[in-house]
Amino acid sequence: MTNYLDFEKPLAEIEGKAEELRAMARGNKEMDIEEEARGLDKKAEELLGDLYKSLTPWRKCQVARHPDRPHCKDYIDALFTEYTPLAGDRNFAEDLAVMGGLARFNDRPVVVLGHEKGHDTKSRIERNFGMARPEGYRKAVRLMDLAHRFKLPLISLVDTPGAYPGKGAEERGQSEAIARSTEKCLFIGVPHVSIIIGEGGSGGAVAFATADKVAMLEHSIYSVITPEGCASILWKDAGKMREAAEALRVTAQDLEKLGVIDRIIKEPLGGAQRGREETIKRVGDSIEGLLSAMDGKSSEDIVKARHKKYLDMGSKGLAA
C-alpha cells in the first residue's frame, strides 16, 4: 500500500481510480478498461513529474521523512556483505538507534555505521525513531576507533531528526558524547564517506557526517535544527515550519551551493520511496566513487585535507 504525502493527494486520487478500474476488471472478465486505466497511469506520471519538478524546502522535508524510504538497515543488507554488527558502548548500554559493525563493501573491508529509524511501530519504538542517546554516539566513537586502528574506510549513513532530547540522555552527557563523536570524525586517519539518506538533523547528524566526502540524496535534508524546532524558537509558533525550512537552507541543492556537501545523488521520480532498489544502487555507486577518489592517500594527508575542508568552509561562511 502506497503512503501518500499531503501534497500528493491529487496523485492518490488518480492512482486510486486506476486501481479501482483494474479491480473491477479482475472481478468481471468481460470488462475492457485497460485503455482507460493506461490513460490514468499516464496522467498520474505527468502529475508526479510536475509535483517533484520544483519541490519547496518544506515538501522536501516531508519527502525526506517518508516512512517508505530505504533506511540504514536496507542499505547495509543490500550493499554490504559479511556484515558483523557490534553492540554497546562499553560503558552503559546498547543503543538500537545506532547500528554498525565490520563488513565488506565491493569486497573492500570497511566499518559501516548509521542511524536506523525502524520500519513499523514496534521497530520504530525499539530504535527510538533514529534518535540516538549518548551511548549511541559512544558506540560510534568505538567503531571509529576500530576503523582507525585497523586502517579500514568508514562509511556512515545519516538519517535522524536529531539526538534524543530526553532527561536521561542529558544526565548521561548527551552534548559531550556528540562533541566526542564529531571530534573523532575529524581525527581518524582513514577515508570517511558519509551519505545523508533521509533526515540529517542537528548535532546528532553532524556527529556522523563530519567526513572527507559528504553526499546527500536529492530529496534529503541536512540542518542545524528541525524546521518545527526553529519555528518554535524564532516565532514561538511551530506552524511556521515552512518559513523556517526556507530560511534554514536545508535542501541538498542549497547545501551543495554553499559547499557543505560534495555530491547530490539523484533519486527516482517521486522520491526514493518509489524506487528503493534503484536508490540503493545509486548510493552504492556514489560510495564506490567517493572512496576510490581517496585511494592511495596517507593517513596524514587524509586528516590534513579534512581539517582544511572544514576550516575553509567556516572561512567562506564568514566572508559571505
| 251 pLDDT more than 50 | yes
Mean pLDDT of 255-266: 94
Label residue 318 by pLDDT band (50, 70, 90): very low
Mean pLDDT of 18-39: 77
Q: What is the pLDDT of residue 314?
A: 63
Please choose, from the candidates 132, 134, 131, the residue with its C-alpha nearest in 3D space to the C-alpha of residue 173.
Answer: 134
Query: What CA dihedral angle connects 287, 160, 172 and 141, to 10 degrees?
Result: 0
CB atoms within 10 A of CB 62: 18
Contacts of 139 (CB under 8 A, 6+ apart): 86, 87, 88, 89, 94, 95, 98, 100
| 317 pLDDT more than 60 | no
Residue type, 22: R
Q: Given the DSSP bridges, would you call strands 213-217 and 192-201 parallel, antiparallel or unpaired?
A: parallel
Report the interhelical angle of 57-64 vs 241-248 (nearest 10°): 100
Mean pLDDT of 66-76: 96
pTM: 0.91
d(CA 278, CA 284): 10
Q: What is the pLDDT of residue 313?
A: 83
